[in-house]
Every structure is written in structure tokens, then in C-alpha cells.
Amino acid sequence: MEIVERRASFGGEQRVIEHHSAVLGCTMRVGVYLPPHWEGRDLPVLTYLSGLTCTEQNVITKGGAQQFCAQHGIILVCPDSSPRGDDVADDEGWDLGKGAGFYLTATEAPWSAHYKMDRYVIEELPALCAAFTNNPARGVTGHSMGGHGAIVLALRHPGHFRSVSAFAPILTPSAVPWGEKAFSAYLGPDRAAWAAYDATELIASSTEKLPILIDQGAADPFLETQLPSGPFLAAAHEAGHPVTYRLQAGYDHSYYFVSTFMGDHVAHHAAALR
């Protein structure tokens, strides 16, 4: 690991780390916030998964999470949203390719060579975090595509996380344009393969009932077309899976929205990670 950025923040330290990912086959950057007096304390870890077009920079500069992680004694880990590099396949559209990893393992060429963001988060990030803590307590959150990733990874890997939340998540990716485009490219035309990364499909048979906190802006321009919640909430209710869904009047899809409710989300995770 190489530290490429290091800045004081709320009594702790915001770092950006660069490392080679064996899973993705490229160099990756990860934001790591270390709260005050972190050394030797074995603090829990909260992973934040970013949305379409984002890098690790968006949340560490605009999300406002550091102050709350400092208060609760939580290490915040913010990976990039896709593999990067000259050899990594890309697309002209902003919602496919670099910046749009969708937290899945692609099976279709040319994407299958590098696009394995779910494995990266589950397999490699814990090993990276071991440089800072031996605490096995982990939570996961994210925004938009990253909210999709947070919920899906928690449902697909019971026992890996102790808490989960999301901001404006894509809850039914198999039925909305963003998900249909990405899943068609990364996973091919078989919709049965898509179901393995669709939160609405997964929650119906989830074996672990981690309470899920979701905040969604009522003024989000993507709410009706990309972020409908009805099928997911119905499936969760049928399965007896606890979900708190808060529709926040006046808020859109931006980091003004995310930063407003970040404190609530960090507190949600802190309660489970203690």
C-alpha cells in the first residue's frame, strides 16, 4: 500500500491509499478515515460504496462522514466505484464501464477481465483494513448504485456485515434503465443471472435479518424512473425483514442530501458495531 493523500480531519486523519488489486487486476485507490487515537484500539469498520461516475473522492470531500466517525470511533473505508486503468474496458456512456462497476462479478467479455467489484469489497478490503484494525465488526452503506451494492452484498453474504444502510439505492435494478443496461452488458441476457444482484429478489429469501435503514429524497429526479421502492418494500414486508424507509421531503439525489442524513446513518451503524 502507498499513501497518496494524508489530511487532518476532525482530530483524525483522512488518507487515500493506492494498492494493486489481485481480484480486479489493476491499481485501485481507497479512502480511509482514521478517527482520533485509532492506533491500538481495534475499531470497527464502515464501508461506503459510491454511486455512478464517482471515485473515492466524492464522499470523502462532500459526504461529511468524518465528523461522525470521529465521534463514534469508526474507521471509514471508501473504495472507488469500479476498476481503473488503461487496460480496463470502458464505454462511452457515463452509466457503464469505468465509474459504474455495479458491485457484481461480470461474466461477459470484455467486462469479465476486471469487473469484479463485489469480490473486491468482500475479499480484498478486509485484508486492507487489517493494516489498521483487527476488529471483525463491519458495516456497509452507500449511495445510489452504491446503495444497491451495500444492500445486495449484505444480503448475499450473511455474517460478513453487522449493519447495513443506503442512500437513494437502486432497489430493483432488473426493472429500471440503469440496471437493465449494466446487467445486460456485464451478465448477459439471462435474467436469472440478474436476480443474484437484485435486492428485491434477494430479500425474499434472505437468511439474515439485518435491519436496513434507507433514506430517499422525495425531490430526487430519478425517484420514479430508476429508484422505485414499492416492490422491494413489499418483498421485505412479506419476508419479515426489518426495513426503515424514510422519504425526505425536498431533498434530491446530491451530496447535499447524503451529507444531511450521514449522521443518522453512522449512528445506525455504530449501534450495531459496538
Which positions are annotated as active-site residues? 144, 220, 253
Contacts with 109 (C-beta within 8 Å, 6 or more apart), sequence order: none
CA distance 151 to 149: 6
Contacts with 39 (C-beta within 8 Å, 6 or more apart), sequence order: none
CA distance 193 to 211: 26
Contacts with 104 (C-beta within 8 Å, 6 or more apart), sequence order: 115, 116, 117, 118, 186, 187, 197
In angstroms, what CA-CA distances link 177 with 180, 208, 227, 253? 5, 29, 10, 17
227: phi then psi, degrees, rounded to nearest 5? -125, 35
CA distance 140 to 147: 9
